[in-house]
Amino acid sequence: MTTFAADAGTWRAKARKYRAIARANVQNSLAYAWDALTPGIFVTIFIFIFAQIWKVTFASQNTNVINGLTLNMTIWYFVWAELVQLSKIDPVTTIQNEVKDGSLAYTLGRPYNYVLYHFFHGLGGVGIRLVSVLAFGSFVAGTQAGLLASFRLEVMPLVLFVTVLAFVLDYCIMAMIGLLAFFFEDVMAFRFIYSKITFVLGGLLIPVDFLPDTVQSIARVLPFNLVVYAPSKLFVAWDWEQFGFVVIMQFFWIGVMAGLLTLFYRYGVKRVTINGG
């Protein structure tokens, strides 16, 4: 007869549980480590093209600084923006597939929090993509614009902290979209809309500082800029005041979104139907 661990039910046992879930996905992604080249190749092409566009833009404006960002900072901004975008957790596809192929019968029936399970499962796949995007992105940005002139090693842990919060916030939104699969099965259209909002208002297409004033004022009150723009901007242009504001706003929106996500999950799990006999 198997016995439960002496600390079963405690936070320590739960922490071990979620760490094991993340570790299993690290192992899983290492089985096909070459897959991580895909975001690396994508970021190479993307940064190269954007570097050419922004070189022309700065030249045509005949200036070294646009809205507080130099060409060097702008190109490195996109490295960090793509790092977030291409490495972040994607629970939408995973949950949708679970609903479609019926494997939800397993993932929903285990002794863990389903939403946290997907977070840590996804987190396990982040590391390898992060390394790939950072390596390829930095190489191209370095060749196109030189090293980041405003780089400050001492604030990097804080930039990483904001980036982690950005991942959590994005996960809350993406998980809500994923949970829509409990009602609609196919939710790619919702994800497409969210990705386009992030693209424009989140600072993935251009830094929010470059948007027209009206659009900028809308973008700054919405949570989307806190996912891509905020950590990327702090990476290239560190500002203590801005850091404090970003962290407060991130915590605020994470609280709101996590609350909504919990309600969403409780509502959805009562109504979900599981495909297959």
DSSP codes joined into one string, 186-254: --HHHHHHHHHHHHHHSSSSS-GGGS-HHHHHHHHHSGGGGTTHHHHHHHHS--HHHHHHHHHHHHHHH
- Candidate list 47, 69, 104, 206; residue touching other proteins; CB under 8 A: 104
Tokens of 102: 């019926």
Nearest CB to other proteins, comparing residues 103 and 216: 103
- Candidate list 11, 28, 122, 177; residue touching other proteins; CB under 8 A: 28
Give the C-alpha separation, 121 to 108, whole Å: 14
Residues 188, 168, 185: CA angle, nearest 5 degrees: 25
If one asks whether residue 2 binds other proteins (CB under 8 A), the answer comes out as yes
**Contact, 114 vs 99, CB < 8 A?**
no
Strand partners for 70: 65
Nearest to 225 by CA among 18, 239, 245, 137: 245
Provide the 10 A C-beta neighbour count for residue 73.
21
Nearest CB to other proteins, comparing residues 88 and 121: 121
- Candidate list 3, 60, 62, 214; residue touching other proteins; CB under 8 A: 3
If one asks whether residue 34 binds other proteins (CB under 8 A), the answer comes out as no
If one asks whether residue 53 binds other proteins (CB under 8 A), the answer comes out as no
Q: How far is the CB of 136 from other proteins (least distance, A)?
A: 24
Nearest CB to other proteins, comparing residues 24 and 160: 24
Question: Residues, the chain, total?
Answer: 277
Q: How far is the CB of 227 from other proteins (least distance, A)?
A: 29
Residues 108-127 contacting other proteins, CB under 8 A: 108-112
Applying CB under 8 A, what is the total number of residues that bind other proteins?
40
Tokens of 225: 């800029």
Nearest CB to other proteins, comparing residues 11 and 60: 11
- Candidate list 32, 34, 157, 212; residue touching other proteins; CB under 8 A: 32
- Candidate list 11, 60, 106, 266; residue touching other proteins; CB under 8 A: 106
- Of 41-49, 82-90, 98-106, 161-169, the segment contacting other proteins by CB under 8 A is 98-106
Give the C-alpha separation, 274 to 200, whole Å: 36
- Of 62-70, 71-79, 95-103, 234-242, the segment contacting other proteins by CB under 8 A is 95-103
Nearest CB to other proteins, comparing residues 28 and 61: 28
Please name the residues in contact with 232: beta carbons below 8 A apart, sequence gap of 6 or more: 77, 78, 80, 81, 84, 203, 207
Please classify residue 45 by burial: count the beta carbons closer than 10 Å to its beta carbon, then call 0-12 exposed, 13-18 middle and 19+ buried.
exposed
Residues 252-271 contacting other proteins, CB under 8 A: 269-271
Residues that bind other proteins (CB under 8 A): 1-6, 8-9, 13-14, 16-17, 19-21, 23-24, 27-28, 31-32, 101-106, 108-112, 269-274, 276-277
